[in-house]
Amino acid sequence: MQTQAAGPGTFARFDLSCVPSPCFVVDEVAVARNLATLKDVGDRSGAKVLLALKAFSMWSLADLVGQYLDGVCASGLWEARLAREFYSGHLTTYSPAYKREDLPEILRLSDSVIFNSPDQIVRFADLIAAAREQDQVFDIGLRLNPEHSEAEVAKYDPCQRGSRLGFPVSKLRPEHLQGVDGLHIHALCEQGFEPLQRIWASLEPKLAGVLGGLKWLNLGGGHHVTRADYRIDDLVGLLRQIAERHGLQVYIEPGEAIALDTGILVGEILDVFDNAMPVAITDISATCHMPDVIEAPYRPAMLDEQDDGVTVRLGGPSCLAGDIIGDYGFAARPTPGTRIAFLDQAHYSMVKTNTFNGVPLPAIALWNSETDCLKLVRQFDYSDFRDRLS
């Protein structure tokens, strides 16, 4: 995958020495700018826009999110709890499967609960009925697999052959929609408008005669709405068209679009030596702090990288041989203590960090690029590593 980072933006003037290392730094002004773009989409199209917590769960910005968006979507019980504790508005919860003991609380917390297959809805019919007997109000949704692939990387393609995500639309029957209020369709991964347009053109005829009996349609996430080249007006037109043609409330669930180009991951070089090329060890670990670098894989953009000069291989402090971030250009050979930063790390990286090998978690800081106000929101210590073990 190719990085979608637009460039350093206001981080070009951020003083990397002002925060501990490693540290995520998020610009609240940039987040607000993205949120304003998404609010405009919702206002003009009539669609409801939800923040996907799986991509960006920085709940210290929950009040800011609430000023712009209609709510959030969760991926299970713990995210649903986080949503109700800190966020406002509508809460949609979807998981590929639910544990029976978790579902009563999920039903109580959520406005919409989306199931991955009709069989799950039938299996948990008693819990759904019991919750409604207690006057709990929520909708039931079904996730569909449109069986139309647009993702660039197979492992990130919800429509890949044998996918576990969503019920195949080719197998959908009227009886599967008994008690179902809406459909959920998520088939994108950090993509523009054109793939969505093609997916909907493929799917809409297959749902003829079905959509009229539903209340809503959720088009999921993966919409890179806040990227500079995104066709926003076309998205607005499509969302409005779907709503008007089928009498549905339309939802979208962008995650990375809220945090796109809003944060960096600051680190420090710990050592430099030669082994066929200059090799630098940093306190940023690909496997612990930016796992998509290995999983995708992709090469994150580095702040102030030089086209000419010295090429240095950057890797993390863990014992994993593959803990390699990539090869980067420096004006001169860096020395221990040199600060570096990787761009566009607010979404997904922050929520996927781990403490493999006892590598410390990065701190989290909130920066206002207009006032230059900097707040250290959270620092982690040994107890965070210890207490997740036994």
323-343 pLDDT per residue, tens: 999 999 999 999 999 999 999
What is the distance between the alpha carbons of residues 8 and 304, in angstroms, rounded to a whole number?
8
pLDDT tens, 94-123? Answer: 999 999 999 999 999 999 999 999 999 999
Local confidence band at 178 (pLDDT 50, 70, 90 cut-offs): very high
Q: What homologous superfamily does CATH list for 46-259?
A: Alanine racemase (3.20.20.10)
**CA 344 → CA 53, 158, 374, distances in Å?**
17, 24, 18
Pseudo-torsion of CA 31, 35, 36, 41, nearest 10°?
150
Residue-level pLDDT at 2: 60
pTM above 0.75, yes or no: yes
Please check the confidence at residue 196 and state whether its pLDDT lies above 90: yes
- pLDDT tens-place string over residues 207-234: 988 999 999 999 999 999 999 999 999 9
DSSP per-residue string spanning 336-371 = TT-EEEEES-TTTTGGG---GGGPPPPEEEEE-TTT
Radius of gyration of the chain, Cα coordinates, nearest whole angstrom: 22
**Delimiting residues of CATH 3.20.20.10 domain(s) in the chain:** 46-259
Q: Where in the chain is the domain with CATH 2.40.37.10?
A: 9-25+262-386
Dist. CA 35–CA 27, nearest whole Å: 13
Backbone φ/ψ region at 31: left (φ over 0), alpha (ψ -120 to 50), beta: alpha
Instruction: Report whether pLDDT(3) > 80.
Output: no
For residue 153, what pLDDT band results from cuts at 50, 70 and 90? confident
What distance separates the 2 farthest-apart alpha carbons in the chain?
A: 70
Superfamily of domain 9-25+262-386 in CATH is Lyase, Ornithine Decarboxylase; Chain A, domain 1 (2.40.37.10)
